[in-house]
Amino acid sequence: MRAALDEARSALVTGDVPIGAVVLDPGGVVVARGRNVREAESDPTGHAEVVALRAAAAARGSWRLDGHTLVVTLEPCTMCAGAAVLSRVERVVLGAWDPKAGAVGSLWDVVRDRRLNHRPEVVAGVLAEECAALLEEFFAGHRRRG
């Protein structure tokens, strides 16, 4: 999660919401990193999880990320939760919960939907306070300016 937090902080440089993600191989080695790039790249799909999953698939040479772990600082949205399911990651580790748009247990629970053919394990609340504080500080700054 510390590596994902480093990625989240990097998003601040481009004015993106500070969310970071990493993908770990089955041995626990970071094989890909991602951060929000929606503002930087004018890409509505530029979420940290999607960026990291794409990089992991490219590094592996396959879209199937069996045995891999997606670590992300904020609970994934529906798009990102769906990407985690479709990439076949074994596990999703998240920091802070997202009660407004979360799809790993808060608002929806895409990753554990029994109708889908793959359901990754979920580990939640890892460094949750630190992950949430980074987002709260970012949005407080935007409220002061706007």
Q: How many CB atoms lie within 10 A of CB 65?
A: 26
Query: Minimal CA–CA distance to 72: which of 43, 98, 106?
Result: 98
136 is catalytic: no
Distance of CA 1 to CAs 24, 41, 125, 143, Å? 11, 24, 10, 27
Options 49, 75, 90, 129, the catalytic residue: 49
Instruction: List 96's β-bridge partners, or say none.
Output: 74
Query: Tokens 């199937």 identify what position?
Result: 64
Residue 33 CA to residue 21 CA, distance in Å, equals 6
Q: Give the residue numbers marked as catalytic.
A: 49
